[in-house]
Amino acid sequence: MRGYARRYTIAAWTACALWAQTAAAPNRAPVLVELFTSEGCSDCPPADHMLEQLDPRVVVLGEHVDYWDRQGWKDPYSSHENTLRQEAYAQRFRTDGPYTPQMVVDGVAQFVGSDAKRAVAEITKATERPKALVRVERSSAGIQVDVDGSPDTAGVFLVLAQDSGTSQVNAGENKGRQLHHVAMVRSLRKIGSVKRGASFSQAVPLPASAAEQRVIVFVQEGDAGPVLGAAEIDPQAK
């Protein structure tokens, strides 16, 4: 059935923790790690936990899909837009179809979302690729977005994500479990484009509620191509 993925061992978790402890840079690397997940999927909690472990080091997105909502539990963070984004990746990577948990690193590698060893390897590769310099700063009306040195022509995308959340699941495969998530995507939209080697600068108004959300900007070829850079602002309330 779509949505199932095999479980991974404690050794994989150890590899993930080791990477987090030994990464040299104290700040987030300009690498985008997307996790397609669902509270209706019994294989997803380990991947959600791993995304939280990676969170301090890279820019992460928890993209909760809606196709599990028919299995007995409606994920409060799910959206059809996240499902459509995952379907675009499925076409790009020529997989049999969307599945959970699925992790995508910088739009160039996909794998089972709880495979920490693969995550470590792909994030390491991603940090070595040329990146656009993405800067995001809050302003009185919203944010100021600047992009310099893009390796290729690409779109500039803006995400508002809930910082974290906890659910008590009362039905479905995770019945009786309390699940915790980070960086749950609430909106994702394209705000412009940048040409290869050129710059992009734009003031973007945001609602007042955005002060309590993560603001993430990334540069991506097409709708599901390579990600060329990313940056994040944590909520002001933190």
> What's the pLDDT score for residue 6?
43
Residues 131 and 154: beta-carbon distance below 8 Å: no
pLDDT at 178: 97
Distance CA 165, CA 227 (A): 26
Which two structure tokens, joined as six digits, stand for 87?
């379907």
Q: Are 59 and 43 in contact (CB under 8 A)?
A: no
The answer to whether residue 89 sits within a structural domain is: yes
| pLDDT at 3 (0 to 100) | 42
**Secondary structure string (H, E, C) spanning 106-152:** CCCEEEECCCHHHHHHHHHHHHCCCCCEEEEEECCCEEEEEEECCCC
* 238 in a structural domain: no
Query: Does residue 144 sit within a domain?
Result: yes
Q: Which amino acid is at 63?
A: E
Domain that holds residue 221: 10-233
Which comes out higher in pLDDT, residue 64 or 208? 64
| pLDDT at 194 exceeding the cut of 80 | yes
Q: What pLDDT, on a 0 to 100 scale, did the predictor assign at position 209?
A: 87
Q: What is d(CA 53, CA 13) in angstroms, rounded to the nearest whole number?
A: 9
Determine the pLDDT at residue 4.
Answer: 37
- Give the three-class secondary structure for 46: helix
| Percent of the chain residues topping a pLDDT of 90 | 82
Q: Which two tokens stand for residue 73?
A: 């539990």
Q: What is the mean pLDDT of the chain?
A: 90
Residue range 195-221: mean pLDDT, rounded: 95
At 20, list the tokens.
């987090």
Is 90 exceeded by the pLDDT of residue 16?
Answer: no
CA dist., res. 85 & res. 98, Å (int): 10
What's the pLDDT at 144? 97
Residue 4 lies in a domain: no
* Residues 6 or more apart whose Cβ sits within 8 Å of residue 219: 132, 134, 147, 150, 154, 155, 156, 157, 194, 227, 228, 229, 230
- The answer to whether position 188 is within a domain reads yes
CATH number at residue 36: 2.60.40.10
User: CA geometry: angle at 71 spanning 65 and 72, to 5°?
Assistant: 110
- The number of CA neighbours under 13 Å toward the Cβ of 106 is 23
| Number of domains making up the chain | 1
C-alpha to C-alpha distance for 127 and 151, rounded to whole angstroms = 14
Selected residue with higher pLDDT from 2 and 173? 173
Would 221 be classed as within a structural domain? yes
Contact of 120 with 16, CB cutoff 8 Å = yes
